[in-house]
Amino acid sequence: MLSMLSRGGGLTAGELGAPFDISQPTASKHLRVLERAGLLTRSVEGRTHRFRLVEKRLRDAEEWIERHRSFWEHTLDRLGDLLEEPGG
């Protein structure tokens, strides 16, 4: 769903759920979770709800993941070095 939204434009829950062969209520449930996480915004046009991606929130998440990935890769590399040492 996030990939679909990243292409721009607002999509409905039905449009977002269609490729996954899930019902509109199930798609809406997933979208509510993403919306609560701040990854989506919703606009209402009559009875139609359209969702758009909040790109800044994804960039923030990506930066956080990268900071932690670097830490853990370094830590695991060091652990590997220690385990390879004689008596390690």
For residue range 4-19, list pLDDT tens digits in order. Answer: 998 888 999 889 999 9
Task: Give tens-digit pLDDT for 27-45.
Answer: 889 999 999 999 999 999 9
Please tell me the distance from the alpha carbon of residue 11 to that of residue 53, in angstroms, as a whole number: 10
* CB contact at 8 A, 3 and 53: no
The CATH code that applies to domain 1-53 is 1.10.10.10
Q: How many angstroms separate the CA atoms of 49 and 45, rounded?
A: 6
Contact 34, 24 (CB under 8 A): no
Total residues belonging to the chain = 88
Q: What's this model's pTM, rounded to 2 decimal places?
A: 0.68
Give residue-wise pLDDT tens across range 35-86: 999 999 999 999 999 999 999 998 998 898 888 888 888 888 888 888 888 8
Structure tokens at 35: 């919306």
